[in-house]
Amino acid sequence: MAMPVVAIVGRPNVGKSTIFNRIIGDRVAIVEDKPGITRDRIYGIGEWNGKAFSVIDTGGIEIDGEDEIIRSIRAQAEMAIEESDVIVFMVDGKAGLTPPDSEVAQLLYRSHKPVVLAVNKVDNLQRMDNIYEFYSLGFGDPIAISGSHGLGMGDLLDAVVERLPEGQQEQYGEDVIKVALIGRPNVGKSSLVNAILGEERVIVSDIAGTTRDAIDTPFEKDGQKYVLIDTAGMRKRGKVYEAAEKYSVMRAIKAIERADVVLVVLNVEEGIIEQDKHIAGYAHEAGKASIFVVNKWDAIEKDTHTMHQFKQKIRDHFLFMTYAPITFVSAKTKQRLQTILPMVNEVAEQHSMRIKTHVLNDVITDAVAMASPPSDKGKRLRINYITQVAVKPPTFVLFVNEPELLHFSYARYLENKIRDAFQFEGTPIRLTARKKSEDE
């Protein structure tokens, strides 16, 4: 089921990122101190009164001048309109109503999307009078909030949740492997989709996807049913959109939520840039099975070392995804396309794999015998037992005497031992510690 999307929109410096951080709170997806994982955020998961939703922060746009301010604000507002189900329109109660606020309001008003008007920086009662001028924007009662003090957040989230649509039910059965292609613009996602489908020539039908910008294409190969979710192609055009690559993340997020397997498409001609790490990081955080697909392999000069060198480059840049296999293909020449679906099948199976408790405990017992658990201030971690509590991704709970004694490095050691024993290729695994109760 796809989560609804809430976008936070407004001119620069009204406090969008502060409110974003308050809404997602400690639910920020990147919590592991893993090297190589990027921490620049525009997306998170919020929850209020039992309803979960994706949150997009449209802040952080570079501004060069007055005309550029208007263009940038218009660009971010239009992108938010296109991507979101509910929009939080933020204005500055300290600065008062400004022409750029009115510019954004016009765009939002014409969109017919649900809009919640939030007046930030209302830090005291004296500023409450400042909210009345914002009625002229035409979005009903403004909600006074203070991002820095956390005031009014309950009222704001009540209004947001009230306007959220119900999540959309997934339309495919359990036997179908849903494969999302993600990557920054121009890496060749659409051509890769067309090449895979053209090669197999078994398209069943084209169905408009449950997200506004993705196209779902079901097909079957060797008795296995698949759905390709293509996230390529912004409908808008123009320099401002071409420059706003980070907004491709919004599309990737929606596809990732629905996918079983994610193909992270890289362009070998352009190499690896920070944006690739952003997008791949979301697949990792979501716990999805993933494969690196290096496209345009036909377009570069190669020798016997080229593939190995580029593989190493991927491993160096994506240290948090060493479990993901890599394949090199060309959508244009169909080179090595046949490697993709067998990999998809394999990682989907690993993603769903469940290990018996007694077998897991044998592995952990051996691991502890080889390297003793850490101690802190005279107290040593004692692992009583381990069990698997979920699949997609495989998730394990260690029952221990003191969870805080499970140091990150020892958790990584145990994770590696589990991988050594059971492979889990292509899928992240989750490992958490829980205190063993007296009656367990």
**374 annotated as belonging to a binding site for a ligand:** no
Reply yes or no on whether the pLDDT at 247 is more than 60.
Answer: no
Residue 297 marked in a binding site: yes
Q: Is the pLDDT of residue 376 over 60?
A: yes
Residue 130 marked as a ligand binder? no
377 belongs to an annotated ligand binding site: no
pLDDT band at 147 (very low <50, low <70, confident <90, very high): confident
> At 27, is the pLDDT very low, low, confident or very high (cuts 50, 70, 90)?
very low
Mean pLDDT of 5-9: 88
Q: Is the pLDDT of residue 7 over 60?
A: yes
Whether residue 13 is annotated as binding a ligand: the answer is yes
Cβ neighbours, 10 Å, residue 420: 11
Instruction: State yes or no: 391 annotated in a binding site.
Output: no
> Known binder of ligand: residue 370?
no
Q: Give phi and psi for 211, each to the nearest 5.
A: -100, 155
d(CA 312, CA 274): 16
The answer to whether 209 is annotated as binding is no
The CA-based dihedral angle spanning residues 319, 325, 326, 332, taken in that order and rounded to the nearest 10 degrees: -140
Instruction: Determine if residue 190 is labeled as part of a ligand binding site.
Output: yes
Note every long-range contact of 121-129, with CB atoms under 8 Å and residues 24 or more positions apart, other chains counting. Answer: 121/14, 121/15, 121/92, 121/93, 121/94, 121/95, 121/146, 121/147, 121/148, 122/93, 122/146, 122/151, 122/152, 123/148, 123/149, 123/151, 127/93, 127/94
Q: Say whether 235 counts as a known binding-site residue.
A: no
User: Which region among 14-18, 35-39, 204-208, 325-329 has the lowest average model confidence (pLDDT)?
Assistant: 204-208
**Band of pLDDT at residue 213, cut at 50, 70 and 90:** very low
295 has binding-site annotation: yes
pLDDT at residue 207, as a whole number:
37
pLDDT in tens, 269-304: 888 988 788 889 889 988 999 999 999 999 898 888
Q: Is 184 annotated as a binding residue?
A: yes
298 annotated as a binding-site residue: yes
Cα–Cα distance for residue pair 126/358, rounded to 1 Å: 64
Q: Residue for token digits 């218009």? A: 74
pLDDT in tens, 235-244: 344 444 444 4
How confident is the model at residue 170, as a pLDDT?
60
> In this model, does residue 115 exceed pLDDT 60?
yes
Tell me the pLDDT of the chain averaged across its residues. 82
Residue 36 is predicted with a pLDDT of 41
148 is in an annotated binding site: no
**Of 62-76, 247-261, 374-388, 404-418, which gets the smallest average pLDDT?**
62-76
Residue 203 has pLDDT above 50, yes or no: no
Q: Is 14 annotated as a binding residue?
A: yes
User: Was 296 annotated as part of a binding site?
Assistant: yes
Average pLDDT over residues 64-81: 63
Residue 11 assigned to a binding site: yes
Looking at residues 306-315, what average pLDDT do you find? Answer: 95
State yes or no: 362 annotated in a binding site: no
Mean pLDDT of 188-208: 61
Q: What pLDDT score was predicted for residue 235? A: 37
More confident residue, 208 or 339: 339
Could you tell me the two tokens for 379? 């107290």
127 is in an annotated binding site: no
pLDDT at 92 over 70: yes
All structural domains of the chain, each given as residue ranges with its CATH number in brackets, are 5-163 (3.40.50.300), 176-351 (3.40.50.300), 357-435 (3.30.300.20)
Q: Cβ contacts of residue 5 below 8 Å, gap of 6+?
A: 53, 54, 55, 56, 83, 84, 85, 86, 250, 254
Distance CA 57, CA 44 (A): 9
Is 376 labelled as part of a ligand binding site? no
Angle between helix axes 408-422 and 357-370 (nearest 10 degrees) is 120
Other Cβ atoms closer than 10 A to 361 = 16
Is 150 labelled as part of a ligand binding site?
no
Q: 400 labelled as ligand-binding?
A: no
- Measured between alpha carbons, how far is 123 from 146 in angstroms, rounded to an integer? 5
pLDDT above 70 (res 162):
yes
